[in-house]
């Protein structure tokens, strides 16, 4: 198993931007960090878990349509809505958005994490097509980032190879799924505090949350300081 090196005071979050569970996890990380007053002590390094490259297909909208109301009910404040735009505007890929987040890290690790959160809100909470470059750059501007620099990075393809390099790592035993968190002490946690099963087949049935313990995030934030 490949080791993930994590600097002190950092939580590495492997996640697909189109994953509702990762949207909730990132939101809980941010809100818990704020509640504990750890904004200056803990930072988040969001890394790509490119599900569409791992599965050789985009995540079916039928699965996401079943997941969003369930996950959204656990953390309504993260930003959710049933897809409101035309069906043909639904994103068919999140790879450009993940590339853009990596480019945004050139403006600081926290800038990349904030941009990642904003792109998730744009998708899940505002029904925006984050497959499209103009939409990605609009979100960057709304975050106060240098959108032109992000555009230049996308045009040059500076982070495309990095996204591809994550595929064997995410297919193996190291990254257990989206989201998976890694800590300075070498530990990792997949989908913290959640135990879920599907009632019926994926895309036909619906997810059933058997356990949800958001309180685990306090321990996880403190673990980053060890």
Mean pLDDT by 10 residues, the chain (226 residues): 88 98 98 98 98 94 95 98 95 97 97 98 98 98 98 98 95 92 96 96 90 98 93
Domain residue spans of the chain: 10-219
Non-local CB neighbours of 69 within 8 Å, separated by 6+ positions: 80, 82
* pLDDT value of position 203: 79
Structure-block tokens of residue 25: 């996890």
In angstroms, rounded to a whole number, what is the distance separating the alpha carbons of residues 202 and 196?
12
Angle at 75 between CA 103 and CA 36, to 5 degrees: 75
10-219 is a CATH 1.10.10.10 domain = no
Instruction: Output the DSSP codes for 151-215.
Output: HHHHHHTTTHHHHHHHHHHHHSSSS-SSSEEE-TTS-EEESTTEEEEEESSTTTSEEEEEEE-TT
């Amino acid at each position: 198993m490949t080791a993930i090196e994590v600097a002190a005071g950092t939580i590495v979050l492997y996640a697909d931007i189109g994953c509702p569970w990762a949207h909730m996890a990132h939101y809980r990380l941010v809100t818990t960090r704020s509640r504990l007053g750890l904004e200056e002590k803990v930072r988040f390094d969001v890394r790509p878990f490119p599900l569409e490259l791992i599965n050789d297909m985009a995540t079916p909208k039928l699965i996401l349509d079943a997941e969003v109301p369930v996950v959204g009910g656990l953390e309504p404040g993260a930003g959710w809505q049933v897809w409101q735009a035309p069906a043909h505007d639904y994103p068919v890929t999140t790879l450009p958005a993940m590339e853009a987040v990596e480019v945004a890290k050139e403006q600081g690790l926290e800038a990349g994490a904030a941009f990642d959160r904003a792109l998730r809100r744009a998708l899940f909470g505002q029904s925006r097509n984050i497959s499209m470059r103009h939409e990605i750059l609009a979100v960057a501007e709304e975050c106060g980032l240098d959108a032109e620099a992000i555009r230049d990075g996308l045009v040059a393809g500076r982070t495309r190879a990095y996204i591809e390099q994550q595929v064997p790592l995410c297919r193996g035993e190291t990254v257990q799924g989206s989201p998976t968190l890694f800590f300075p002490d070498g530990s990792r946690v997949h989908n913290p505090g959640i135990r879920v099963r599907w009632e019926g087949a994926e895309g036909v049935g619906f997810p059933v949350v058997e356990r949800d313990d958001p309180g685990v995030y306090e321990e996880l934030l403190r673990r980053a300081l060890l």
